[in-house]
Amino acid sequence: MKLQLKKTFNLIFVTAIIAIAFLGFKFENKNGVYRTMDVNKANVSDVLIFLGDDDMVHSMTSFDADKAKIGEDLILNGRTIVNGKKSKRISKYFVCTDCHNLGREFKTITDESSEARLKYADDNGISFLPGSTFWGMYNRTSFYNNDYEKKYGSLVVNSRDTLQNAIQLCSKYCSSGRYLKDWELESIMHYYKKNELKIKDLSLSENDMKNVQKYSKLKDGEKEALIVKIKKSYLQGYGATFLPTILTDKRKYGEGGNPEIGLKIYEKSCLHCHAGARVTNLSLDKGSLSAGLFWRKIKGYSDKSLYQIIRHGTYSKTGRKQYMPLYTKEKMSDEQLNDLVAYIKQLAGK
């Protein structure tokens, strides 16, 4: 009998150990969501909340992997399957990935330079696009920053601090589409939640990581300092500076530019949309015909001048809804523009 009791105790003990090992550092918050503080898995937003930071406007208290999958379908294909039937397309002209990448875009994630972004795109075989990546979108707290007000006017006002509204603005206006239904918006939010930044994505010091792990033992002041450090380790919003079209007599026309970098921009950006006239009537390739077209127009201010189109894009109009987004300084520097011109010049045989 005594032995039996001991066995039972042992069993309970072993089960408890296994259960603790399984759950790891998981805690339940007031809404019943499991959030982990295991630094190898923890989400940035969860850690911030545990440290006592305020919720973000769009903080989610639940996560549903099936909804995230539907969100991914909408992002990649513009529609999904509902009850065996295709849902209505968000836009006839675009899908989100025409303008946004889905993964990491910088080696150092606090970097915002277009040179570092192109380098990372080249090293990792991804595109170089006018919109910012969806990776870490959930962790941002401001959208359509700075000069985007010039393009979208009062539309940005409600979208600047509310992710759901930013998604709606982009679905209707940037995508030349429509506002999302509630279930579509929710699914995309779950997709963003799934692809939020993890603590291990940030370059925190070993000591900071240790402090995250033992957060409950920290004093209030230490917690606050750690919140500040974490928030400095990623961007809460991407800057957006509109540059003017360089005046004719100030242009370098490729002089001193690097055509090899220009080729990368052409392939990873322009051809992403223009190869085979994918989202537009204008079909571009790496032949001298495309280059000749650009070179003939390079001096002017028409939409076919690289200097003009890159800084202003085009606008959608009735009967012609597809438009080209502009490149901000953060998405293409004037030096890179000159590199692109140098490549086009070479290709045109000039």
Secondary structure class of 33 (helix, strand, coil): coil
Select 101 or 211, whichever has its Cβ closest to ligand HEC: 101
Select 76 or 209, whichever has its Cβ closest to ligand HEC: 76
Tokens for 161, please give them.
Answer: 């601090």
CA distances from 156 to 39, 90, 131, 145, 276 (A): 36, 20, 15, 9, 33
Secondary structure class of 27 (helix, strand, coil): strand
Of 52-60, 102-110, 166-174, 256-264, the window that binds ligand HEC (rule: CB under 6 A) is: 166-174
Q: How far is the CB of 233 from ligand HEC (least distance, A)?
A: 17
Tokens for 162, please give them.
Answer: 């509310």
Q: How far is the CB of 228 from ligand HEC (least distance, A)?
A: 22
Those residues with Cβ within 8 angstroms of residue 235's Cβ, 6 or more apart along the chain or in another chain: 109, 110, 112, 136, 140
Among 264, 272, 312, 345, binds ligand HEC (CB under 6 A): 272
Number of residues that bind ligand HEC (CB under 6 A): 43
* Residue (of 282, 288, 278) closest to 309 by Cα position: 282
Residue 131 lies near ligand HEC (rule: CB under 6 A): yes
Residue list 66-125, contact with ligand HEC (CB under 6 A): 90, 94, 96, 98-100
Secondary structure class of 84 (helix, strand, coil): coil
Strand blocks (E) in 78-230: 81-82, 85-86
Among 76, 102, 225, 282, binds ligand HEC (CB under 6 A): 282
- For tokens 């015909």, what's the residue? 289
Q: Which residues bind ligand HEC (CB under 6 A)?
A: 90, 94, 96, 98-100, 130-132, 137, 140, 143-144, 148, 166-167, 170-171, 174-175, 188, 238, 240, 269-270, 272-274, 279-282, 303-304, 306, 309-310, 314, 320, 322-325
